Amino acid sequence: MNEWEWQLLEDREKVDHLAVAGVDLRVGSKVVLEPRKGADIFDLALRGQTAIIESIEQDYEGKFQLAVVLEDDPGRDLGMMRQPGHLFFFEPEEVRPALEEGG
């Protein structure tokens, strides 16, 4: 990337929520992963897993991605520190809000 592209990314407002299936998702919200057809094998292996949103990202073209860590990952703290292998990126269309227990 050149300098102006980096500046565009840095100038973006931080996204604090994103509506998916009529539910406002925020950092800390739980989602169920549903990778799109044709996704890579690793994403497909995560199908049905519950994940926690670590951040909501938006590129300079306005496209959103959710950075998530798996709820049952014993290395989840590494994902929260943005370490490879424990942080995964999914498009909003590839997740659904997880139903909260008791709700």
Residue 91 lies in a domain: yes
Closest residue by Cα to residue 95 from 23, 41, 13: 23
Q: How many domains does the chain have?
A: 1
Specify if 64 maps to a domain: yes
Separation CA 33–CA 72 (nearest Å): 13
**Which is higher by pLDDT, 11 or 42?**
42
Domain CATH for 41: 2.30.30.140
Residue 103 domain-assigned? no
102 assigned to some structural domain: no
The beta-strand segments (E) located in 1-103 are: 18-20, 23-25, 30-33, 50-58, 64-70, 88-90, 95-97
pLDDT in tens, 21-75: 899 999 999 999 999 888 888 888 899 999 999 999 888 788 999 999 999 876 6
Q: Is residue 78 part of a domain?
A: yes
Cβ-contact 15, 64 below 8 angstroms: yes
Evaluate whether residue 15 is within a structural domain: yes
User: Residue 74 is part of which domain span?
Assistant: 3-97
